[in-house]
Structure formats: structure tokens, C-alpha cells
Amino acid sequence: MKAPQTTGNLKKHDSTNGYALVNGLNMYYEIHGKGEPLVLIHGGGSTIQTTFGRVIPLFAQTHQVIAVEMQAHGHTADIDRPLSFVQDADDIAALLKHLNIKKAAVFGFSNGANTTLQFAIRYPEMASKIIVASTFYKKTGAPDWFWDMMSKPTFEGMPQIYKDEFLKINPDTNALHRMYERDVARMQAFPSITDEQMKSIKAPALIIIGDRDVVSPEHAVEMQQLLSGSRLAILPGGHGDYIGEITTPHDKVYISGILAMINKFLSEPLAETNHK
């Protein structure tokens, strides 16, 4: 296990980064800012920076941001075990225990949102609130074109900026290919969450999608109906526009408005959140 260390490019937000040995995985994490804990879980094929790099400084003004890189992604090397959303949720729980954080809000984007749902199901005592962004809980939540694409994926079709950002961190092209293959295989065998499991989630939830996202608005409404007391925001734009994900336009005014909405949700008292 590598102890947390302060690095020059993180000092702006009173930040540290390091590694923690969790469930046999040497997981990379960064901590930014002070306040109530907020875990950020990136999307598939991504890193902390590609998913959340444009909004971490804003979240760090009001929260202690714990941003992670999951198995095989970015700084966190792959190990010989299955890649699954359940395992990722177990790794998040183990990391929080390592950091002596008993409870945290969790914001997951895309694949990271599936991990967030599993975390809320498996560790209800550790999830104060959840933000579930641009994801579906069963295969029918994504349009046919998405599954057609997943049925015949190519490495060439992976956004070049994802490849470039991975290789900046880890120049091993074999590791990049392996990460791509494992992410594709996980999505091709996507494990749906049952309605009963969704109903078991007690943490107040904010569901966010774009109106041109990989999840249908109808499915987002279905999720809201299953998650008791949850809130739903269907925003103009595509997959991650609202947080400035690296493949999307960087509209600072739009993003700051969405973050104000997210921060309002995070700051609401639990009783108020559950009954609105």
C-alpha cells in the first residue's frame, strides 16, 4: 500500500492522492477539498480526469471529494479477477473503510452509476445520498442502436482522447487494450438489477440523464418510480454534457448551473430530500 502523497498539480484544492490496497486491488484515489464526503466514480474506459476533471474544482469548494479510478482504469492496474459492478461497489466500500469514512454521498457517471446502484444496494448504511447519472439498470433501458454497437465493437471506435489520457498515465498499450476488452465484455454481458433490488435502495437519489443520452427518458422515469423519494433531471444534451465530460463541449455557464442543482440536492436535509 502506498501512503497518500501531495502532488504539485493537486495543491489548488487542498488535495492529496495515493493508493490503498482494497480486496487485493491497489486502488488509486484523490482527495480534494473539505466538507461532507462525496465519492466520484468515472465511466467505462475513463479516468478521473476524463469524466470529472472539469467539475472537481467546483465540487471541492463545498465537499471533500474522493475521486477514484476503478480496476484496470487509469492509475489502478488490472488484476486477475472478474470485472463487475458488484466488485467495484465492494472496492468503494473497502476504500471508504480504509479512509475511515463511515458514510458518503456517491456520484457515479455511466458505468460508475451502475457501481453506485450496487453500492447503495449492498452498503445501505454507508450511502448518505446517491447521484445516478447517464445509466440504465436493465438492458431495455438503452436504445437498440447502443446494443447493436456493443455487438460489434472495435478498438478503433474507442474515443481517441480516452486512449491518449490512459497512455499519459500508463504507457502500456497492452494494458489499454486489456481495459477496453474487459469493459466491452462487461457491457455485452450486462447484468440487470431487479426491480426488487432497486426498491430496496433507501438512500435519497438524484437521477440525471441527457435528452440525447444512452438511456431513454422513459427508463429514467421508471427508475425514479422504483427509487422511493428520488428526484429526476432530464437535461438538454448528450452523454455527460452536464458535467463537461471530456468528449463533450465545455459550456461553463451550463455546467455551473447543473452543479448548483446537484449541490442543492446534496445539501438538503434528508427528511426534506425524501418528501419532495
3-state class (DSSP) for residue 204: coil
In the prediction, which pLDDT does 25 show?
98
Residue 9 has pLDDT above 70, yes or no: no
Cell numbers 480526469 label which residue? 49
129 in Cβ contact with 266 (< 8 Å): yes
What's the distance, CA 31 to chain centroid?
15
Kindly report, residue by residue over 93-148, the tens digit of the pLDDT. 999 999 999 999 999 999 999 999 999 999 999 999 999 999 999 999 999 999 99
- Return the C-alpha cell found at 31: 482527495
pTM of the predicted model, to two decimals? 0.93
Residue 60 CA to residue 48 CA, distance in Å, equals: 14
Q: How far apart are CA 230 and CA 244, in angstroms?
A: 24
Q: Which CATH number fits domain 8-275: 3.40.50.1820, 3.30.420.40, 3.30.590.20, 3.40.228.10?
A: 3.40.50.1820
Angle of the 173-188 helix axis to the 111-122 helix axis, nearest 10 = 60
pLDDT at 274: 55
**227, 197 contact by CB (below 8 A):** no
In the chain, % helix, strand, coil (3-state, to 5) comes to 45, 20, 35
Tens of pLDDT, residue by residue over 34-68, are 999 999 999 999 999 999 999 999 999 999 999 99
CB neighbours (10 Å) of residue 87? 17
Place of cell 479512509: 99
Rounded-to-integer distance, Cα 11 and Cα 245, Å: 22
Q: Is the pLDDT of residue 217 over 70?
A: yes
pLDDT in tens, 145-159: 999 999 999 999 999
Which stretches of the chain are assigned E, i.e. beta strand? 16-22, 25-32, 36-41, 63-69, 104-109, 127-133, 205-210, 231-235
- Reported as a pLDDT band with limits 50, 70 and 90, residue 14 is confident
Backbone phi and psi for residue 114, each to the nearest 5 degrees, phi listed first: -65, -40
Q: What cell was used for 223?
A: 427508475
